[in-house]
A and B are shown apart, each in its own frame.
Chain A
Amino acid sequence: NAGVMQNPRHLVRRRGQEARLRCSPMKGHSHVYWYRQLPEEGLKFMVYLQKENIIDESGMPKERFSAEFPKEGPSILRIQQVVRGDSAAYFCASSPRGGGLEQFFGPGTRLTVL
């Protein structure tokens, strides 16, 4: 059973470009969480999605950031017009249900904005 998959693992963008981060949850998991981790800091919750629904986006910046989890395909975290402060590791986690005992984390995407 494959774990949570994220791609790309590393992404370099110039200021003003768009970044698209993909997350495929574990098989059988329908709940996806995105977290951001700045260097030397803990993980910060961004958004929680179920298939075709955003359940909680209270941790996501109001501008430039969006997330989706379509009926088919991976969850996408999209950052428009990236700035240097967006440089971070972005982790996706999945669980079989919202109150699942454990969230399984993917390997993360490390975004560097030049």
Chain B
Amino acid sequence: GQNIDQPTEMTATEGAIVQINCTYQTSGFNGLFWYQQHAGEAPTFLSYNVLDGLEEKGRFSSFLSRSKGYSYLLLKELQMKDSASYLCAVRENNNAGNMLTFGGGTRLMVKP
């Protein structure tokens, strides 16, 4: 089984930087994903980490430490449109397939 924790809500200011943390406990770790979900819409893929370190993609970066069971999503130069829920998901090796287990999501509110 898996246990994935992330803060429920965060608030940040337009133009600032925000870091959303995610901790997990799992066996057979096979990758960590971050998704963005605007209210009433489908989750959209942001990033994927399977090795330790930082993956950068434009304004978004994601970091992973497998030994600590820890990841964060870093959003730079925040824009109002970044107000959304950010979902941390872990993929675990098992015999059946590689489905994702999601955390509860972090609702980010960007203020002017």
Given A33-B99, A58-B96, A99-B98: A105 and B42 within 8 A (CB)? yes
Docked complex Cα distance between A102 and B31 (Å): 10
How far, in Å, is B108 (CB) from chain A's closest CB?
14
Q: Which residues of B contact A18 (CB under 8 A)?
A: none
How far, in Å, is B79 (CB) from chain A's closest CB?
22
Q: Which residues of B contact A105 (CB under 8 A)?
A: 35, 42-44
A-B interface contact total, Cβ < 8 Å: 57
B105 adjacent to A42 (CB under 8 Å) = yes
Q: How large is the interface on B (under 10, 10 to 19, 20 to 34, 35 or more residues)?
A: 20 to 34
How far, in Å, is A103 (CB) from chain B's closest CB?
6
Which of B84-98 touch A at CB < 8 Å?
A: 87, 89, 94, 96-98
B42 adjacent to A91 (CB under 8 Å) = yes
Docked complex Cα distance between A54 and B95 (Å): 13
A interface residues, how many (CB within 8 angstroms): 26
Given A104-B45, A107-B41: A42 and B97 within 8 A (CB)? no
User: Does A56 count as interface, using CB distance less than 8 angstroms?
Assistant: yes
How far, in Å, is B36 (CB) from chain A's closest CB?
11
User: Does A55 count as interface, using CB distance less than 8 angstroms?
Assistant: yes
Docked complex Cα distance between A44 and B41 (Å): 16
Q: Hey, which bits of chain B sit against chain A, CB under 8 A?
A: 30, 33, 35, 41-45, 48, 87, 89, 94, 96-105
**Could you show 25 A-B contacts with beta carbons less than 8 Å apart?**
A31-B97, A41-B104, A42-B104, A43-B100, A43-B102, A44-B102, A48-B96, A48-B99, A55-B96, A55-B97, A56-B94, A56-B96, A56-B99, A59-B99, A91-B42, A91-B43, A99-B30, A99-B97, A99-B98, A103-B100, A104-B45, A106-B42, A107-B41, A107-B42, A108-B42
